[in-house]
Amino acid sequence: MLKQSILKTTDLQIGYTSKKKQLSIASNIDIEINEPKLICLVGKNGIGKSTLLRTLSKVQQKLGGEIDIRNKNLELYSSNDLSKVMSLVLTEKLPDSNLTVFELIALGRQPYTNWIGSLSQTDIDKVKESMQLTNIEDLENKKYYELSDGQLQKVLISRALAQDTDIIILDEPTAHLDVQHKMETFVLLKKMVDELGKTIIISTHEIHLAIQSANELWLMIDDEIISGNPQDLIKDKSIEKIFSSDKIEFDSEKQQFTLK
């Protein structure tokens, strides 16, 4: 029997295409996910974390290699099929609109609704459920532009949850949040993995929090991606390769980078 794989890349090359030139950002990426996990993608600015996530979610075209989602080539997915397998939380600012929190989350049900987008009872239940899980039921009727950054992030995660997919990809979900909301977000994501069996891939700069909560780290460095259990990566000193500056070092006691 075919091994159950959730996500697998073979010799993947990512980057940008413009006119005739290809600008490769990273290549020879071989990663594999076989069971539900919280995966934190870490690496310095500009190394290509967002590009990798955008390529995995088909927002951006890959330059070479293969991506398989649930043993099926990503190229073979229609956008409608893919929307039932993978949902996204992006960093981009939402355009202005009058959407309420409920309506915004309900948009996550679009892959399942009829041609005009009417919500069935199941859809409404799913939306309610995901609001309960992210603890934002009291925001239901607010306009989304009235929310704080922390609340909006929960709403966007809730929308991804309502889309009812096995895989959720989040690009820097904690970027604009204070410490409390950063930690809450990690706790929430961990809960989604443990209780709902989701596979969650996030990019983050919160290395300390990532080490504490992730099942697996993907260290993105200049010529490769090293994946593994956080503690293993600390032990074999791989984690120190993230930054090349001689002014900082990794303190394995505190499990974070400090100034020398």
Partner 1 sequence: MHITKSYKTTFILLLLLLVVLWFLNISLGSVSIPFKDVFSAIFNGEVSKDTWQTIVVDYRVPKAITAILVGAGLSISGLLMQTLFRNPLAGPFVLGISSGASLGVAILILGASLIGGISAFAFSSFSMAIAASLGAFLVLSAVLIAASKVRNTMSILIIGLMFGSITSAIISVLAYFSSAEQLQQFIFWGFGSLGNLSWNELTIFGVIFIIGVSLLFFIIKPLNSMLLGENYAKSMGVNIKRTRNIILITTSILTGVITAFSGPIAFVGLAVPHLTKLVFHTSNHKILLFAVAIVGAILMLVADMIAQLPTSEYTLPINAITSLFGAPIVIWLLVRTKKIT
- Please give the residue ranges that form the binding site for partner 1 (CB under 8 A): 57-59, 78-84, 86-88, 90, 92, 94-100, 102-104, 107-108, 110-111, 113, 115-117, 119, 124, 140-141, 145, 163
For the CB of residue 69, give the shortest distance to partner 1 in the complex, in Å: 13
The dihedral built from the CA positions of residue 55, 59, 62 and 67, taken in this order, carries a sign that is: positive
Q: Which is nearer to partner 1, 201 or 217 (CB)?
A: 201
Read off the tokens for 254. Answer: 């505190």
| Residue placing its CB nearer to partner 1 in the complex, 90 or 233 | 90
Please, what is the minimum distance in Å from the beta carbon of residue 84 to partner 1?
8
Closer to partner 1 by CB, 139 or 192: give it: 139
248-255, long-range: CB < 8 A, 24+ apart: 254/208, 255/208, 255/211, 255/212
In 3D, which of 224, 211, 223 has the Cα closest to residue 254?
211
Element (H, E) at 128: helix 121-133
Task: For residue 58, give the 3-state DSSP assignment.
Answer: coil
What is the C-alpha to C-alpha distance for residues 235 and 59, in angstroms, rounded to an integer? 35
Please identify, using beta-carbon distances, which residue of 90 and 211 lies nearer to partner 1.
90
The one-letter code for the residue type at 124 is: I
Of 36, 85, 34, 28, give the one whose Cα is nearest residue 58.
Answer: 85
Nearer to partner 1 by Cβ, of 52 and 211: the residue is 52
Q: How far is the CB of 163 from partner 1 (least distance, A)?
A: 7
CB of 1 to partner 1, least distance (A): 30
Give the shortest CB-109-to-partner 1 separation in angstroms. 9
